[in-house]
Structure 1
Amino acid sequence: MLPIPNLDDRMFEQMVMEARKSIPKLFPEWTDENEHDPGITLLELMSWMTEMQQYYLNRVTERSERKFLKLLGIRPRDAVSAVCDVTFTGATQQLVLPKGTPLTAMDLRFETQGTIQFVPAVLEKVLVRTETAAADYTSNNQAKIAYYAFGAEARKGAHLYLGFDRALPMDTEISIYFNLFDRYPVRVSHHAEKTAPMISSAKVTWSFAGADTDGQSESWLPIEPTVDNTVHLSQSGELKFLVTSEMKPMSLYPADDRSRYWICCTLEEDGYELAPKIEKITLNTVRAVEQETFSEVTGFNSSGESGQSYELSSYLAYNGLHTVQVLDERGRWRDWHTVADLSTCGPDELCCELQQDSARRTTRLRFGDGVHGSIPPQGAKRVRLIAYSAEFDYSRFVGGSKGLPGQTFEISRGRVYVPSSMLLQVGYRPRGEDSVVWDDWTAVDDFDNSKSTDRHYVYDAAAGTIRFGNNEAGLVPRKSGEPNIRFLALQAGGGVRGNVKDGLVTGLGFAAEPGVSVTNPFPARGGLEAETLAQAKLRVQRELAAPTRAVTAEDYEAIAKAAPGLRVARVKAIPLYKPGMRDFPRVSAPAQMTVVVVPYSESDKPKAGKGFLQTIKQHLDRHRLLTTELHVIPAEYIKITVHAVVVMEPKYKNEQRRIAIELRNLLQPMDHGQGAEGWRFGRTVYKGDIYGVISRIKGVVYVQDIWLDAEGTGFHKDGAGDIHIPPYALVYSGVHEIETISQTDL
């Protein structure tokens, strides 16, 4: 363990002496250093204050620092589990893999985050057809080499075709995952705050090749996606849809070697800021997280009616052991036992029927009608199904309470659990009753705010223990002669070890049919270790510095750049300006704020589409002042063309191309790897700027003449030949005309 540094390492006399020694160097005119001098008195005062601060700061312990962070609303972050997308292949029939299906990557365990309908089809062909070309990108898709979904220009009417070896099943939710190329200089912002969803500037429609109304001729029939996390192929995500009628085979060029079953994505409205590039399209793909679930709880609402039934799809619920709980009228949880048939139960028996569907991998609960089995009371989340693994059956009991204050129980057994997944219960036997009832207990960071009646406990991940209160700060669990403290929900996971490389999630933690395999086409990401105290202190500094309210122009710019899901390259906030105003800034508009945005693009003139602008406006609306009227507009572009006559040294006479490249690097709206942000919004294009750039080029003797031309709206050219552009505008480079003259030809 590292030694704790001593912060109180300088005495008062030492500080005064060091300050007096620095006077001749810092202030030579200060010559009177006697005690009666007011400056010396101030030095002694500051030294005394510093010495007192050091004294108290040296007594700030780690526990105190955690309390200070708590006052700021910050607590060290728990370990975060890595996630990845896994793809299943090899099944010969339809198969349902419920949520929580276990997978392995070496010694790590992953679990699926959702239920997947496994379809026994293979994606054989990927075609892209535009107005001018048709190409087969199947090999690119298999090798994860990026290709444009609708061509480099992404024009309206382009098509993306997916060809399968067999028809997709009807009325079954099909899931296709799209991984888009994401390694651009400007990263997508992932804002932690829950905001409105991203809006796409383009629109796509989906269809499949099927039979028309007479059931004979081929026709393209529409598909209405049930889930589109790709937002019209603007980002990586999952597409879910239903095929409503039978698919028909069709032959399409350039994959016309045989007939296949096709799905088509058509670009109905163009407007992408960045033409989508696809790295891989996969069928039967689901997201998996690095964790191990020992026990899980699913709650249901009770209507209070007879014959209530509930269904859920979960791996543990289907393959594990079960406990059913119902909250009684007095707010206590009681365990109900499961039976094969409710007809064997009496009217007052606490029983329910549990059935499982092997085809759909679902578990169903059914309660009685008051004649055969009791009816659960009405209320929200009054019914629970607890599912846990057989190995966890004994381990879920932490121990028995002795009724003493400050009891501590060891629970880690070599594992670090996810605190947010914990649900703990303490049981007791009420006086005059034979059955045990259970109360839920809540995990807290400490007992500082706990009253004597609060059912709180503290989980210490480092020590692997849970600790209860003392009847003053936190209630003491009731004494019991048998284990009466148990976990209903518990998970383990998190850490950087979960960030495994692609192709390592290959193990199936369940009995699958022969031939079924799984892999992760891309690496797992996002796994983090538990945050240390030092890291939490650095994070609080960043969070306190980040704006949360849009008041100043700088606030608007910072918040707009953090709009989630977008690649915002540049932002300019113009206070007191309203779009369409003239004579700005001589004439201003009170309570107006205009935000000009530039998306990242591979184009010379990045243009923000309507969806891009609307997404940023919705994000800023959550942070602006109510009295401010907000406008979000795209940048205006002014094309600048330079005509120059340059005198060169004889051996550099043919350097016109180099001069044109330097001018292009200067007159650009964005940084394309040149180390500069780009042209500033509204900055006048002075001829002096052009003179300076050309004069710095090797071989240039002097610039003989320069004149500038501009194309666009809102600019004006003054008598000196400089181009003045509006505050919401940027410049981009035209085709420059450079004439070079050898120095010897003059």
Structure 2
Amino acid sequence: MLPLPNLDDRLYDQMVQEARKAIPKLFPEWTDENAHDPGMTMLELMAWMTEMQQYFLNRVTARNERKFLKLLGMKTRDELPAACEVAFTGAAGPVTIPRGTPLQAYDQTFETDETLQLVPAALEKLIVRTETAVGDFTANLQSGIPFYAFGPDAGDGSRLFIGFDRELPVHTDISLSIRLSDHYPVPVGRGGTSQEELALVASSVVSWSYASSEDGDGWSRVELLRDTTAHLSQSGKLTFRLTERMKPFAMYPADDRKRYWLCGTLERGSYELSPKLTHLYINAVRAEHRQTIGECVSFEATGEAGLVCETVGYLPYFGHISVQVGSRSGGWREWTIVPALASCGPGDACCEAEREPSAHKVRLRFGDGLHGAMPAKGSQIRLVAYAPAKEGLLWVGAGNGLPEQEFDLSRTGPFRGIGMLLQAAYRDKSTGEWVWEDWERVDDFDQSRPSDRHFVYDRAEGLIRFGNNEQGRIPPKSREPNIRFVSLQTGGGARGNIKQGMIAGFAEDVPEWAGVVASNPVAATGGAETESLEEAKLRVQRELAAPTRAVTAEDYEAIARDTPGLRVARVKAIPLYKPGMRDYPREKAPAQMTVAVVPYSERDRPDAGPGFLETVSRHLDRHRLLGTEIHVISAAYIKITVHAVVVMEPAYKEEATPIVAVLRRLLRPMGHGDGEGWPFGRTVYKGDIYGAISRLKGVVYVQDLWIDAEGPAVRKDGAGDIHLPPYGLVYSGDHEMELIGVTDL
């Protein structure tokens, strides 16, 4: 970082004294230097002005720092909304919970992210059956205590049985929300945000089926629609359909009565970390901390007669709606919603709006050119929905035609900057109707042109600011309010991180939802306040330091360690090496990079499965240099067995356990909070063993020592040292210690 010069390096008194000393040389006729002299007054005034200028020139203000962040392509982050999973129970029949349904958590509102079709069934039993054991883990599920979905070893053929109190409906989308334990010392990598980057290739294969016979012998495969859990490798949702009816039967140890069973079978168990369930529930959906005041849903006109547009949502169904159609000349014109199109003429801009109660669906129907006009092909159609009681919050005010107009929203806000859409209108001179134009929110007007419809929303001050016709257009002048929001939300911030069970139900009473109970089984997370300037500067430093292109070996290791969705415990990049080479590093392979990875696991010697290696390889491939070939392999484990004759103090000659313990701690592939473990490819020198044993209490000296090794590509030299391949790690065998008392020699 460049050093900042200190421009404010002179004080006021110093500048006055320097000026007075220069008077005899510059103006010898000036002899009166007392305070009453006007010249001294001017001199002090100029010294004061100079000192103030230097002070301001030396300052780097918050505004300057924000501009510097903008030059780096960064800015302070807006507030972030919290989110949690919400489970619904108590449905007596099929019930539709539309997208955007508000849920109440004391004085805060959460809204569902997608439409959910409730299934009138409850999860009653959860049984895990492995090759050697069977157990009922229903109590764990109710208390949130983690348990292994396929046992600690996750062997092939292990099964997870999910019992329901009634059969699941046929030909209906059914979702199971699955949450795995996240309490591990190695975090999940976050090196990407796009769906493509977050795609996880599973090493294991899980198939799902359901009981289709009453004796428990007949099982039919489900029609799997979506599996975001990657075969139970991560938390997510399982969406499927049944093609025929379920049959009940009793199963040990839940043989008190017959139930309807869904079964997950581990066809191929290659988990790096055996899945450990904390929550599994049906009828669940993600909810976000927000409250929608207005929203818009867009469609595209096909040019066909009798065009029908449908949407499912809470606000479109229960709120007030209006319809806008984009015109060829630009802007949006509102179309009238009429009870029946039969009353409309060929050129009337009108449409019908029909609400379907069973699915909470809103259906717009447009004319055919005889009864009602047809939207032009390719034009945009917008359904604007808003809460009637809060319509006043959508209106901003009237444009005065002056530059840099401001509107104070502090009494009604603050609002979320995300999803904010504002419109300003002008009167069409030929028809006299309002024409609405969309205005885009920007951080500042630095890059705004005179024709750009931009505005700035200052959340801290609660102000809406417009341009001056040089940087950003001025809204049209109007005597009536002509500036409004069509999409607006409140919410976000750390207050949304509510505890488990704080969501108590629906925010508004809907008769058809009577008896349905909503609750969050886990706490909401992710809510954060608007990022401060200091926090943004620290984040920028971290992001600039993080590698985005794999050039050096360190870059490859850092990027591989942050592979999205994986827990990478250790990684070693080996440049100019290709798997199979025997004389490395004397023999080198140009443009080759081999990356050895070790996944986090509860086993002593974790092996990376094929899906794990493929996921790391895909992630590295996005960051490699053109022409570099990447090979991602699992670490090789070399078994090291030490044989030693150790001379001990008489009091310690029967205690070989401490020596074996220190060797096991030294010769291990993974650390346990006190180091990473043995370095990749490092030779095991006899001197390492001599030193580790000699430092123990009671050891006089090591009389003799030799080392045996077993593993791929391992080599023992004439001195007895063990040379590992560059991707090799060591683990301890059964060390043999012969102890001799010093007095016995």
Both proteins in one fold, TM over 0.5: yes
Q: Could you tell me which residue of structure 1 aligns to residue 94 of structure 2?
A: 94
Q: Could you tell me which residue of structure 2 aligns to residue 550 of structure 1?
A: 550
Deviations 1:428-467 (A, max 9, x none): 1021212111000001111111111110111101110100
Instruction: Name the amino acid aligned to 2:410.
Output: S
Q: Could you tell me which residue of structure 1 aligns to residue 232 of structure 2?
A: 233
* Structural mapping, 1:436-585, within 5 Å: 436-512=434-510, 513-585=513-585
Q: In structure 1, how many angstroms separate the alpha carbons of the residues matched to 2:347 and 2:698?
A: 100
**Residue 638 of structure 1 aligns to a residue in which SS?**
strand
* Structural mapping, 1:689-700, within 5 Å: 689-700=688-699
Q: Is the 8 A contact 1:591 1:628 kept in 2?
A: yes
* Structural mapping, 1:661-672, within 5 Å: 661-672=661-672
* Structural mapping, 1:673-712, within 5 Å: 673=673, 675-712=674-711
**Residue 579 of structure 1 aligns to a residue in which SS?**
coil
**C-alpha displacement at 1:66, in angstroms?**
0.8
**Residue 218 of structure 2 aligns to a residue in which SS?**
strand
TM-score, normalised relative to structure 2: 0.91
Q: Could you tell me which residue of structure 2 aligns to residue 209 of structure 1?
A: 211
* Structural mapping, 1:186-585, within 5 Å: 186-194=186-194, 195=197, 197-211=199-213, 219-379=218-378, 382-512=380-510, 513-585=513-585
**C-alpha displacement at 1:7, in angstroms?**
8.4
Q: 1:369–1:94: structure 2 CA closer, same or farther, 3 Å change rule?
A: same
Structure 2 residue runs of 5 or longer lacking an equivalent are: 1-5, 15-50
* Structural mapping, 1:40-79, within 5 Å: 58-79=58-79
Q: 1:245–1:54: structure 2 CA closer, same or farther, 3 Å change rule?
A: farther
Instruction: Name the amino acid aligned to 2:625.
Output: L
Moved more, 728-737 or 151-160: 728-737
**C-alpha displacement at 1:535, in angstroms?**
1.1
Structure 1 residue 741 corresponds to structure 2 residue 740: yes
Moved more, 509-518 or 717-726: 509-518
Q: In structure 2, how many angstroms separate the alpha carbons of the residues matched to 1:445 and 1:279?
A: 42
**C-alpha displacement at 1:173, in angstroms?**
0.9
Q: In structure 2, how many angstroms separate the alpha carbons of the residues matched to 1:510 and 1:177?
A: 25
TM-score, normalised relative to structure 1: 0.91
**Residue 643 of structure 1 aligns to a residue in which SS?**
strand
**C-alpha displacement at 1:661, in angstroms?**
2.1
Q: In structure 1, how many angstroms separate the alpha carbons of the residues matched to 2:148 and 2:654?
A: 38
Q: In structure 2, how many angstroms separate the alpha carbons of the residues matched to 1:91 and 1:358?
A: 17
Q: In structure 2, how many angstroms separate the alpha carbons of the residues matched to 1:190 and 1:353?
A: 47
Q: 1:9–1:653: structure 2 CA closer, same or farther, 3 Å change rule?
A: farther
Deviations 1:121-175 (A, max 9, x none): 1111111111111111111111111111111111111111100000001111111
**C-alpha displacement at 1:13, in angstroms?**
14
Q: Could you tell me which residue of structure 1 aligns to residue 40 of structure 2?
A: none
Structure 1 residue runs of 5 or longer lacking an equivalent are: 1-5, 15-50
Q: In structure 2, how many angstroms separate the alpha carbons of the residues matched to 1:664 and 1:505?
A: 50
**C-alpha displacement at 1:346, in angstroms?**
1.6
Q: Could you tell me which residue of structure 1 aligns to residue 3 of structure 2?
A: none
Q: In structure 1, how many angstroms separate the alpha carbons of the residues matched to 2:270 and 2:57?
A: 57
Instruction: Name the amino acid aligned to 1:649.
Output: E
Instruction: Name the amino acid aligned to 1:410.
Output: D
**Residue 208 of structure 1 aligns to a residue in which SS?**
strand
**C-alpha displacement at 1:744, in angstroms?**
4.0
Q: In structure 2, how many angstroms separate the alpha carbons of the residues matched to 1:56 and 1:739?
A: 78
Instruction: Name the amino acid aligned to 1:615.
Output: T
**Residue 537 of structure 2 aligns to a residue in which SS?**
helix
Q: Could you tell me which residue of structure 2 aligns to residue 604 of structure 1?
A: 604
Q: In structure 2, how many angstroms separate the alpha carbons of the residues matched to 1:272 and 1:12?
A: 72
**C-alpha displacement at 1:179, in angstroms?**
1.0
Instruction: Name the amino acid aligned to 1:568.
Output: V
Q: 1:104–1:54: structure 2 CA closer, same or farther, 3 Å change rule?
A: farther
Instruction: Name the amino acid aligned to 1:332.
Output: G
Q: In structure 1, how many angstroms separate the alpha carbons of the residues matched to 2:247 and 2:277?
A: 26
Q: Is the 8 A contact 2:94 2:119 kept in 1?
A: yes
Moved more, 482-491 or 597-606: 597-606
Q: Could you tell me which residue of structure 2 aligns to residue 640 of structure 1?
A: 640
Q: Could you tell me which residue of structure 2 aligns to residue 19 of structure 1?
A: none
Instruction: Name the amino acid aligned to 2:394.
Output: R
Q: In structure 1, how many angstroms separate the alpha carbons of the residues matched to 2:701 and 2:10?
A: 62
Q: In structure 1, how many angstroms separate the alpha carbons of the residues matched to 2:615 and 2:179?
A: 22
Q: 1:306–1:504: structure 2 CA closer, same or farther, 3 Å change rule?
A: same
Q: Could you tell me which residue of structure 2 aligns to residue 182 of structure 1?
A: 182
Q: Is the 8 A contact 1:218 1:248 kept in 2?
A: no
Moved more, 285-294 or 637-646: 637-646
**C-alpha displacement at 1:692, in angstroms?**
1.7
Q: 1:217–1:605: structure 2 CA closer, same or farther, 3 Å change rule?
A: closer
* Structural mapping, 1:79-228, within 5 Å: 79-194=79-194, 195=197, 197-211=199-213, 219-228=218-227
Q: In structure 1, how many angstroms separate the alpha carbons of the residues matched to 2:699 and 2:101?
A: 69
Moved more, 341-350 or 437-446: 341-350
Q: Is the 8 A contact 1:117 1:175 kept in 2?
A: no
**C-alpha displacement at 1:414, in angstroms?**
4.8
Instruction: Name the amino acid aligned to 1:144.
Output: G
Q: In structure 2, how many angstroms separate the alpha carbons of the residues matched to 1:561 and 1:337?
A: 57
Q: 1:257–1:430: structure 2 CA closer, same or farther, 3 Å change rule?
A: same
Identity %: 58
**Residue 395 of structure 1 aligns to a residue in which SS?**
helix
**Residue 290 of structure 2 aligns to a residue in which SS?**
strand
Instruction: Name the amino acid aligned to 1:429.
Output: R
**Residue 633 of structure 2 aligns to a residue in which SS?**
strand
Q: Is the 8 A contact 2:213 2:248 kept in 1?
A: no
Q: In structure 1, how many angstroms separate the alpha carbons of the residues matched to 2:356 and 2:694?
A: 80
**Residue 418 of structure 2 aligns to a residue in which SS?**
helix
**Residue 142 of structure 2 aligns to a residue in which SS?**
helix
Q: Is the 8 A contact 1:596 1:635 kept in 2?
A: yes
**C-alpha displacement at 1:196, in angstroms?**
5.5
Q: Could you tell me which residue of structure 2 aligns to residue 33 of structure 1?
A: none
**C-alpha displacement at 1:668, in angstroms?**
1.4
Instruction: Name the amino acid aligned to 2:493.
Output: G
**C-alpha displacement at 1:338, in angstroms?**
1.4
Deviations 1:321-374 (A, max 9, x none): 101110012122011121222222221111111111111111111111111111
**C-alpha displacement at 1:12, in angstroms?**
14
**C-alpha displacement at 1:394, in angstroms?**
2.3
Q: Is the 8 A contact 1:211 1:246 kept in 2?
A: no
**C-alpha displacement at 1:218, in angstroms?**
5.8
* Structural mapping, 1:3-18, within 5 Å: 8=8
Q: 1:158–1:227: structure 2 CA closer, same or farther, 3 Å change rule?
A: same
Deviations 1:20-53 (A, max 9, x none): xxxxxxxxxxxxxxxxxxxxxxxxxxxxxxx9x9
Instruction: Name the amino acid aligned to 2:392.
Output: Y
**Residue 268 of structure 1 aligns to a residue in which SS?**
strand
Q: In structure 1, how many angstroms separate the alpha carbons of the residues matched to 2:79 and 2:7?
A: 31
Moved more, 509-518 or 341-350: 509-518
Q: In structure 1, how many angstroms separate the alpha carbons of the residues matched to 2:419 and 2:709?
A: 62
Q: Could you tell me which residue of structure 1 aligns to residue 589 of structure 2?
A: 589
Q: In structure 2, how many angstroms separate the alpha carbons of the residues matched to 1:87 and 1:636?
A: 45
Q: In structure 2, how many angstroms separate the alpha carbons of the residues matched to 1:281 and 1:7?
A: 63
Q: In structure 2, how many angstroms separate the alpha carbons of the residues matched to 1:683 and 1:597?
A: 16
Q: Is the 8 A contact 2:192 2:198 kept in 1?
A: no
